Amino acid sequence: MIAPRDLPGLPRKLRGTLLAMLALPLPLALLLTLIGGEQKPILGVLLGLGGMALALRALRRGKPRHAAALVGVATGLLAALACNTPVLAALVFGAMAFFGTRLLYEGVAEVPVDEPARPDPWAVPRGRLARLNGESPRLRPASVALGELLLELEQRNDPLPEARRFLTVQLDGLERIAQRLRAGAAPPAELDALVEEMARASAGLRGRLRAEQQDALEIQIKVLSDRLRQEGFA
C-alpha cells in the first residue's frame, strides 16, 4: 500500500491515481442522472466531474494545494446539486474533502512555475563579431572597438536605435570586407585608414553613451537631493 509520505517519490503522472479512484463512481452517477432526466442533479455531477478533472491536472503539475481546493469545491457542488444536500451540509462535505486531500498529498512539493527565458537581443551581433575577430588582423582595430561598444550596449536596458543601426552598419561593412579578403582580393591602401576611422567612430559613440548615463545619474542625484530637502530629511 502506498503511504502519503511515499508520494513525492512517485512519477508525477501517477500521483493522481488515488484521486482518480475516488472519482470512479461519478461516471456511473452521471449515467443514472441522465436516465432520471432531472437537470439539477445532472449539472451537479457534471460540475463535480469537471472539478475532479481539474484537480487531477493540478496534481500532475505538482500543485497539491490547488488540487485540494478543487476537490473541495467539486464535492460541495456534488452534495448541493446532485444529492439535494442543504447548503451548510454541502459546505461541511466540501471542507472535509479539501482537508482530506491536503492530508493525503501532504509532502508533495510544489513545482515552481518556470518563467520563459527572455531572448538575448545581442546574441546575433555577438556571434557575428566573434567570427569577425577570427578574420584578417588588419580589421582587428575596428572589430575590437565594436566589441567594446557592444559591451556598453548590453549594459543598457534601452539602447538607442541609433546605436543599433550603427552596430548593424559596421558589422555589415566589416563582413563584406572580410569576405573579399578571403576571396583573394588585395587590400587597398585606404583600408587601414577606413578601419581606424571605424574604430574612432565606435569609440566616439561609446563615449557619448557613457556621457548620457553620467548626465542621467547626476540629474537623478540632484532630484533626490532636492526631494529630501523638501521633505525635511536632509
Residue 117: inside a domain: no
Classify residue 115 as exposed, middle or buried by CB count within 10 Å of its CB (0-12, 13-18, 19+).
exposed
Higher pLDDT, 220 or 112: 220
Determine the pLDDT at residue 8: 46
Q: How many domains does the chain have?
A: 2
Looking at residue 98, its amino acid is F
Q: What integer pLDDT is reported at residue 110 of this predicted model? A: 54
The residues near 173 (Cβ < 8 Å, ≥ 6 apart) are 198
**Is 89 contained in some domain?**
yes
Q: Which residues of 27-56 are buried (b: 16+ CB within 10 A; e: fewer)?
A: eebbeebeeeeeeebbebbbbbbebbbbbb
Query: What is the extent of the structural domain holding 50?
Result: 4-104
C-alpha pair distances (Å), 42 with each of 53, 80, 96: 17, 12, 23
**Confidence (pLDDT) at 200:** 94
| 228 or 169, which is more confident | 169
167 and 225 co-located in one domain: yes
Q: Each residue of 66-91: pLDDT tens digit? A: 777 888 887 887 777 777 778 787 78
Residues 5 and 7: their CA atoms lie apart, in Å, by 6
13 and 95: one domain? yes
Answer yes or no: are the C-beta atoms of 110 and 128 closer than 8 Å.
no
Please indicate, yes or no, if residue 131 is contained in any of the structural domains. Answer: yes
Residue ending a domain, choose from 77, 104, 131: 104
Instruction: Convert the pLDDT of each residue in 6-49 to its tens digit.
Output: 444 444 445 566 666 766 677 777 777 777 777 777 777 787 77
pLDDT of residue 176: 93
Residue carrying C-alpha cell 493525503: 104
What is the average per-residue pLDDT within 138-163? 84
